[in-house]
Amino acid sequence: MLIQYQAILKESVMSTEPLYLIHLTDTHVKAPSARQFLNLDSTARLRAVFAAVRDLSLKPACFLISGDLAHEGTRADYVHLKTVLDEEAATFGVPILVALGNHDDRSAFREGFLGEAPSSNGYYHASLVDGLRIITLDSEVTAAGEKVEGWLDAVQLSWLQEQLQTTAPRGTLIMLHHPPLRSTYRLFDDRVLNNPDDLGAVIRGSDVIGILSGHIHFTSVGVFEGVPSVASAGVSFNIDPTTPRSMRFIDSSGYNLVMIREGRMIAQPLMLPGTHRELLHWQIGERFQPKAEQNPDELPPELR
């Protein structure tokens, strides 16, 4: 009887006491010896977010990083990132869960970050943190030897369906790099998750309470299958979503403070202090192709 009462008490505390998470995205880290993208010190930016969180008057249960962990994804980048994240995880005494994005290289990540044999297999997994299930998906797949960006394949979706057959005490959060929703920035219409309906069909009726993503480098919020879907500002740099025919790269850094309470997800976007100056204004005009970054000739020198 006592055991039963304790179980009820525990369940009740878990569902009403807030649980805090820190959601980072698009760290675009490079090893210190590499030429830094846009001359930004990606490691200093990542460290600055951890320092800002240290000053918050709350303790997060976990950090989440939703992809584009490394800018070019070399083995050295991931070895370096692992050193930084291991140090921060030890300081906070909480786990740091990561997803992969289109800038990441699966093989180099497995080798340099996970210490595994190199393999281009997708990286997706489920974790339980204080009763909250966090499911990390991999929204880039390899089909017929080609990288396909912004896609969840059938094998992964069937794995997700299996995971969602059971419920977690605080519900489930999904983290993936490509947002399942389009944003106000029409230029990125085909750069988000390109098969959102497949994801929607799997999470419908499940205990999923929210979706966290990145990739677009600005905060964007919407409702997907009845739950909040929040893309965070980038840690490394941001993009101005108000210029419809060009890309303005902005010198700023942000993250989300996420609260789970009473079965709901609430996300608080936070920006670090800074100049927010323009780093580069890429006038794309009519030359813009959806996958322009795959052809370096289409890019301004600063972005190659």
**Distance in Å, CB of 62 to Fe ion, minimum:** 21
Q: Which is nearer to Fe ion, 259 or 292 (CB)?
A: 292
Residues within window 241-260 making contact with Fe ion, judged by CB under 5 A: none
**Cα 243 from Cα 6, distance rounded (Å):** 56
Q: Which is nearer to Fe ion, 72 or 111 (CB)?
A: 72
Q: Which residue from 257, 284, 279, 255 is spatially nearest to 268, judged by alpha carbons? A: 257
Q: Does 131 bind Fe ion (CB under 5 A)?
A: no
User: For residues 172 and 213, which CB has a smaller minimum distance to Fe ion in the complex?
Assistant: 213
Q: Does 68 bind Fe ion (CB under 5 A)?
A: yes
Identified binder of Fe ion from the candidate list 104, 215, 227, 267, rule CB under 5 A? 215
**Stretch binding Fe ion (CB under 5 A), from 67-75, 150-158, 179-187, 292-300:** 67-75
Find the residue with minimal CB distance to Fe ion.
Answer: 68
Chain positions 23 to 62 lying near Fe ion, rule: CB under 5 A, are: 26
Q: Which is nearer to Fe ion, 206 or 232 (CB)?
A: 232
What is the torsional sign of CA 210, 181, 22, 113? Answer: positive
Number of residues binding to Fe ion, judged by CB under 5 A: 5
Rounded to whole angstroms, how far apart are CA atoms 164 and 272? 36
Scan residues 91-110 and list those touching Fe ion (CB under 5 A). Answer: 101-102
Residue 248, classed as helix, strand or coil, is: strand
Contact stretch for Fe ion (CB under 5 A) within 77-85, 129-137, 210-218, 263-271: 210-218
Is residue 206 within the footprint of Fe ion (CB under 5 A)? no
Closest CB to Fe ion among residues 26, 138 = 26
Helix 154-163 crosses helix 196-203 at what angle (to 10 degrees)?
A: 20
Residue of 206, 207, 205, 210 whose CA lies nearest to 224: 210
CB 174 within 8 A of CB 157: no
Tokens read off for 235: 């840690």
At residue 64's C-alpha, the angle toward residues 63 and 69, to 5°, is 120
Residues near Fe ion (CB under 5 A): 26, 68, 101-102, 215
